[in-house]
Amino acid sequence: MTTQQPLAVGLIGAGRMGSFHAETLARRLPGVRLAAVADPALGAARCLTDRLGCPTAYTEIGELLADPEVDAVVIATPARTHADLVEAAARAGKAVYCEKPMATTLADADRAIAAAAAAGVPLQVGFNRRYDAGFRAAHEKVAAGAIGTPHLLRSLTRDPKLADPAPIPPWTIFLETLIHDFDTLRYLNPGAEPAEVFAWADALVRPDFKDRGLLDTAVVTIRFDNGALATAEASFQAVYGYDVRGEVFGSAGMLTLGDIRRTHLTSYGAEGIAAECVTYDQDLFHDAYVAELADFADSVRSARTPTATGEDARAALTIALAAVRSVQEGAPVHLKDSRLGHTGT
């Protein structure tokens, strides 16, 4: 092992998620080093590199992509920039890890996938639930036939607090929140693909923002090509905490997923039984965030296909775009619908 250099990873985007990834790259992964950070915001990259003892900070992303010291990049910028950055990084010959969603149109997704293929670099997408021990074990059990053929599935995401709605694009609930659930439903129904989607969405948390197009509550039903019927559900505000759950029901059994308890402490008092819930700060998926970067480093080194690929990102995006169109039209949408490629989101 003495001849193997650590994998040098450059981080693009020094926001909340980027900062967490930076710590993981700098400290938690053997055989990996944080080689550089790039963020257009003045001082953002420098602040992070100083704290983590990383040698290089850039305000120009292009400089990081041109840095020959950098073997691979982690993209943690706003969603609308992802596809372009994947393409640029691939052209620069870097292995690419991109936060979800990888793209917000199918044309962008196709372009990103094609760029990685042309450059012969790995492309991994940040569907972190695939790296959570519980979701992963469920996937493996379903794949092994433990519950027979899946008939009914459920995945839900409820964020603990409605962020200030101003900077949120209208279809965020589908493209950035439920995209996780769409991927989870595919992950829990391995080998099957979605065939048809029906969705409702509304501004129930903040009705006052409805005229700006912000939808904060949604229910999506999906018919898969193996007959399974799935439900995905999201809300931007669960006052009790960060609620992520899943369920797969099949011909030979059921799996349930999700635990919102903060610790194993339970209190019993005159008012009854009580326990605390997980919120963002405690990070329900802490270990999964670390595991996905470890898997990225490992798949880069071993030249194996990552667990969540660009094609997976495209498949989840297709469901999201179909859900958007279903809301717009008030009708179910077939995933073969040629118009999905042109949805102007």
Judge whether 182 and 159 are in contact, CB under 8 Å.
Answer: no
Indicate which single residue of 46, 91, 111, 262 sits in contact with its own copies (rule: CB under 8 A): 262
Q: Cis peptide leading into 101, omega within 30 of 0?
A: yes
Q: Which residues pair with 33 in a beta bridge?
A: 8
Q: Does 59 bind its own copies (CB under 8 A)?
A: no
Q: Binding to its own copies (CB under 8 A): which residues in 109-138?
A: 132-135, 137-138
> Quick one: which segment of 34-42, 114-122, 144-152, 295-303 binds its own copies (CB under 8 A)?
144-152
227 interacts with its own copies by CB under 8 A: yes
Q: Is 308 helix (H, G, I), strand (E, B) or coil?
A: coil
Nearer to its own copies, 236 or 296 (CB): 236
301 binds its own copies (CB under 8 A): no
Give yes or no for residue 24 binding its own copies (CB under 8 A): no
Assess contact for 108 and 83: CB atoms under 8 A: yes
Of 25 and 109, the one with the shorter C-beta distance to its own copies is 25
Rounded Cα gap, residues 318 and 316, in angstroms: 5
If we measure between CA atoms, which residue out of 296, 6, 264 comes closest to residue 127?
A: 296
Among 68, 120, 167, 272, binds its own copies (CB under 8 A): 272
Which of residues 264 and 303 has its CB atom nearest to its own copies in the complex? 264
Sign for the pseudo-dihedral over CA of 203, 207, 212, 216: negative
- Binder among 263, 281, 303, 344 for its own copies (CB under 8 A): 263
CA distance 52 to 118: 34
Among 15, 40, 170, 332, binds its own copies (CB under 8 A): 332
Element housing 75 (H / E): strand 72-75
CB of 122 to its own copies, least distance (A): 24
Instruction: Give the Cβ contact number of residue 228 at 10 Å.
Output: 22
Which positions from 233 through 252 interact with its own copies, judged by CB under 8 A? Answer: 233, 235, 237-241, 243, 249, 251-252
Triad 161, 164, 169: Cα angle to 5°:
105
Interacting residues with its own copies between 199 and 218 (CB under 8 A): 200, 202, 204-205, 207, 217-218
